[in-house]
Structure 1
Amino acid sequence: AGATLVKPNRKEISEAVGEAINTDEEFITAGKKLLQLGKFDYLVATRGKDGLTVLDKDSAKHVTAQQREVWDVSGAGDTVIALLALGIAAGGSVLDAAQLANIAAGIVVGKVGTATVTAAELSHAVDATDEETEAQSHLQNIMTVEQAVEQVARWRRLGLKIGFTNGVFDLLHPGHLSSLRQAHATCDKLIVGVNSDDSVRRAKGPDRPIQDEQHRAAVLASLERVDLVIIFNDDTPIPLLQALLPDVLIKGGDYTVDTVVGADIIHANGGQVVVTPTLQGFSTTNIVTTRGIKKGN
C-alpha cells in the first residue's frame, strides 16, 4: 500500500481527485477514489463542523462532531493526526482512534491560538460523551477557578468584555432571571459565582440552602445568559474577583456602587461597577417561609 492511513480535509480530497464535493455521497465517492489512487488502507477525512469520516475499501463511517463553541481552528488537523497515531499505537482500531481524535479536536477549537489538549481534558470529554445526555452538556460551563482564569484569558484575547455577578440562587425565581438578564446586558460574557453549601449555611443558618451547590450551579449553567459558573466557598467573592479581574461587576439590590463588595478591586483595575434594580415581590427566603419549604422536601 502507498500508506496505511492518510488524513486529508474536504478541500484536499476535492483537489486530489479533481471533483467538486457538495454532498455526503460525493464526499464518500471522492474519498473512495482517493483510496484507490493512493493505494491507502484507510482515509480519515476531516470535515470541520461536520466531524470526520473514516473510509476503507469496504465501508465509510461518519463520526459526528460534538457541539462546542469554536474560537480558533488552528492546529485542529494536527491534533487529529496526533490522536490517530496515539489511538492506533495503543492498540485501538482506526475507528476508535478517529473517535478519540474527533473529541480532542473539538476541545482545541474551543481555545484561542494553536493549543494542546491535556489528558485530563480528554478523559473528561470521553466520560461526558459516554455518560451525559445532550441536555447535560451545559455542565462543561461549571469550572474551577483555575479553569475560569484560562477561559477569561481566551475571551480577553478576542476582545470580549467580561462581567461577574454572584449569589446563592437557591430557588431560582423571576427575580433572579431579571437580575441575570440585566447583568448579561452589561457585558459579552457573564460569569456567575455561586456560594457553596458551607458558605450559605454560615450566612443563612443550618436549614439553607434548600438545593445543594451542584444543583444550583447546574441550573444556572443551563441558562442562555450565563456563560460560566464557579462555586466558591469564601464568605465574599473577593478572592474570585482578584483572580478573574472582570471588566464589570454587577450587583442587584439596594446598594450604592461604593458599598458593593469588591468594588475597590474592580475600580483599581479600571473596571466598572453596576448596580441593577431588583424585581420586587420575589425572594427565596419569602418563598421558603410562606410555603413552609424545608431542606430535603
Structure 2
Amino acid sequence: MGGLPLLLLFGPTGVGKTELILRLFPGKGEVISADSMQVYRGLDIGTAKPSPEVRSLVPHHLIDILDPRQQYTAGEFVHRAEELIPQIELRGRIVVISGGTAYYFRNFLYGLPETPVANLEVRKRLLDRLEAEGLSSLYEELNRLDPVAGERISARDTYRILRALEVFYSTGRPLSSFPVPKNPRLNRTYRLIGLMRDREELYRRIDARVVEMFRQGLPEEVARLLACGYGEEDPGMRGIGYREFFQWGRLGCLTLSQVKEQIQIDSRRYAKRQITFFKSLSGVQWMHPDSIRSLADLGIYL
C-alpha cells in the first residue's frame, strides 16, 4: 500500500460522493471530511451527514467535532487534515479528502492566503456594530470598500463578512488585494477527481434529497437544536437546511412546504456556485460517478 496517491474527491452537493465512497473504499480507505457543516454535532439530517452505518464501513474524520456555536475556518481544516494524513497512511489505508466546501480544497492544495492575524480590538468593534446595525448594513459596507470580496462572500456569511472588514480596518487594504498562492504546495503524488452530473439530473437529485430530509425529520431536528439554545447567530445554524427555518419563524406566514422549497432553491444555487469554483482548479479529472467502477478508474492501484 506504500506510495499510494492522496485522493481529493469533490463535487457539488447531491452529486453522489458518499455513494461512491461506500462503493469503493470499505476496508481500503478513510475519509477526511472537507465539509464546513458536517463538523457540527447535532446537525445530522440537514447536512446529509454520512450515517453511522456508512462510517462503520469507511471511517470518516472531521465529523461531529465541534459545537454549533464554534467557528470552523479553512486554516483549521488544513491543519487538522495535515495531522490526519500520516496517521491514516500508517494504518495502510488510502487517504480520501472528500467534500463540497470548495475553498478547503483550494487552501489545502495551494496554501492559505497571506492575510494578517486577527485584530481583536477591531473585531470587537465590528461585533458591536453587528449587534447594533445588523449584518445587511455591514455587508453593504463591505461591497463599498472591497467589491471583489463582496462578490465572493455570501450576504449571509457573518464570519467572512466580519473578517473581510476586520482586514480592511486593520491594514487599510481590501482583503482581495492580499496574494493568493497559485502553485500547488503538495510534495507528493495526488489525484484531483471532480464528480459531475448533467445539471438537470443533479437538480433532480438535490430536490429529492431535500424531500428525504423532511421525511427523516429535519423540522424536528431543527426544533431540538432550538430547544438546546442554538440560534440564528451560531455558525452551525447558518447553513442551508437550517437558516431557512429562521426565515419561516420571522415571517410567520410560510408553510413547511415553502420552507422545503426554499431549501431546494438555496441548495441548487449553492451547487451552481460550487461547480463554478471547482472548475477554477487546474488538473481536475472530471467524471460521472456512475462511470467509476474501480479504484483503477481513479488512477489508484493497490
What interval of TM-score do these two structures reach, taking the shorter chain for normalisation? under 0.3
Which structure is higher in helix share? 2
| Higher RCO (C-alpha 8 Å, min separation 6) | 2
- TM-score normalised by length of structure 1: 0.22
